[in-house]
Copies of this chain bind each other. A is one copy, B any other.
């Protein structure tokens, strides 16, 4: 069911410093920062040959990564995102398998403009899993 690893998301307290680290120290290609006010984050994309890393900095009052950064002040890996062909079919299969979908269980339009769901980390070995309809 799951396909490509779409991205690994890393929450950072300082996006400019995180971007400089990946660009200058690790020598990767880093996009310009992109504010996503509807998703409560500003993001830069680290473009790797086979996938991407997203560095996320909180934006606004109710950022979904604020609590994570309060617990992990220097940042950390926040979630992984797998692509699926049909997000409703994926959701139904997961629910049948006993996995919990976060929120009201309905896909939302994610930061890439595509339908996404998040799965409960307690059901996936402590890993927050995002599914994105590719």
Contact = CB atoms under 8 A, between A and B. Distances in A.
Interface of A: 1-5, 8, 10-13, 18, 21, 24-28, 48-51, 53, 55, 72, 74-77, 80, 82, 93-94, 97-99, 121-127, 129
Nearest to A79: B77
A50 B4 contact: yes
| Oligomer copy total | 2
Contact of A125 (B10, B49, B98, B129): B10
22 contacts: A1-B28, A2-B26, A4-B48, A4-B51, A5-B53, A8-B80, A10-B127, A13-B125, A25-B93, A25-B98, A26-B129, A53-B80, A55-B125, A72-B126, A74-B121, A74-B122, A75-B126, A75-B127, A76-B126, A77-B77, A77-B80, A77-B127
